[in-house]
Amino acid sequence: MDCASHIYPDGSMGIHEMCFRVLEKEIVALCGPNGSGKSTLLEHLNGLLRPSSGNVTVMGKKLDLSHMDIWRDVGIVFQKSDDQLFAPTVLDDVMFGPVNMGMSIEQAKVQALDALKTVGAEKLSDKMPSYLSGGQKRLVCIAGVLAMKPRAIAMDEPTSDLDPLHAEMVENIILNLKNEHGLSIVIATHDMDMAARIADRVCIVKDGSIIVEGVPSSIFYDKELLETSGLRQPKVVQIYEGITTNLGIGMEKHPMNADDLVKTIAAMIRHG
């Protein structure tokens, strides 16, 4: 995304001179307050929106009228699962994308069942979407995109409104998609804890632009930056900062998840 801007028909600015890139097999977390432009950015990656100015290039294809099939390469999982599930049964819904790609019914069915298996939802194939729990719906939404075998997936708030168990499942699926399937994943999220745990790179989005980007351990330890961006530090960072401040010692390490935090504290205790 090269200095891309998007202005909505009502004149409001979606993104403003946004410069953004995603590498292969990378998880990028877009963190920012509501209305900062995260979702607008995601919709550009799938070709749902086209920039008012600037360029968006996906897999070497410039997003314009000659390349309207970016959806084949970049899937998008929406924030509200109910908006994404519209077919009579789970299997029909997951097959929707592959069929649109021109696959035969049999081939689409195989890919759909394979995608459902990847997210651990193969038993739901003949269920009606209306009667699934929120967590199950999210898994089916991810399967619906995965069945198209995209090279990158954009996810809008993938763990919002989920119970801890399903949120953890979704996190594991995201990591699995990157590690086992080699996908690039872009996540728009307010969940700083999840971003700290799984992201390779974090972009802070404010007023339609990326104001800073970097590895989680540098971004999430910059308290001032996060506060001015309307965000909070992840719990792990807050706890670690609290402990080191109380003890009056410096932060030599930057733990980003509960395991690292426990190891760091244990080492601190051992070394007095």
Partner 1 sequence: MSELSPHIPDIDLITFYSEKGTSLFSRISPWTKGLMLVLIILFISLDKSLILAVCLYLVVLALYGLSGLPIKKLFQWYAMPITFVLSLVLILMWNEPGKAIFSLDLPYFSLTLTDNGVLLLLTLIFKSLASVTYTLFFLMTTRYDHFSAIIFRVFPSPIDQIFLMSYRFIFMTLKMVKSMLKALRSRGGGLLKSTRRQSKMFAEVFALTMIRSYDRADRVNKAMEARGFNGKYIAVTRIPSIGFGEYFTMFVAATLMIYLIWFVKLPF
Residues that bind partner 1 (CB under 8 A): 43, 46, 48, 69, 71-72, 75-76, 78, 80, 82-89, 91-92, 95-97, 99-101, 105, 109, 126, 128-131, 144-145, 148
Q: Least distance to partner 1 from the beta carbon of 47, Å?
A: 8
Nearest residue (CB) to partner 1, 58 versus 99: 99
Q: Which three-class secondary structure state does DSSP give residue 204? A: strand
* Amino acid identity, position 140: V
Q: Least distance to partner 1 from the beta carbon of 259, Å?
A: 36
Nearest residue (CB) to partner 1, 37 versus 255: 37
Query: Would you put residue 230 in left (φ > 0), alpha (ψ -120 to 50) or beta?
Result: left
Q: Least distance to partner 1 from the beta carbon of 1, Å?
A: 17
In angstroms, the CA 121 to CA 117 distance is: 6
Q: Least distance to partner 1 from the beta carbon of 24, Å?
A: 22
Nearest residue (CB) to partner 1, 139 versus 202: 139
Query: Would you put residue 260 in left (φ > 0), alpha (ψ -120 to 50) or beta?
Result: alpha
In angstroms, the CA 49 to CA 41 distance is: 9
| Backbone φ and ψ of 120, nearest 5° | 75, 30
Query: Would you put residue 59 in left (φ > 0), alpha (ψ -120 to 50) or beta?
Result: left
Nearest residue (CB) to partner 1, 103 versus 231: 103
Q: Least distance to partner 1 from the beta carbon of 125, Å?
A: 9
Q: Least distance to partner 1 from the beta carbon of 230, Å?
A: 25
Nearest residue (CB) to partner 1, 91 versus 183: 91
* Amino acid identity, position 84: Q
In angstroms, the CA 144 to CA 161 distance is: 19
Structure tokens given for 22: 């995603």
| Backbone φ and ψ of 119, nearest 5° | -95, 5
Nearest residue (CB) to partner 1, 10 versus 83: 83
Can you state the percent helix, strand and coil of the chain, rounding each to 5? 45, 20, 40
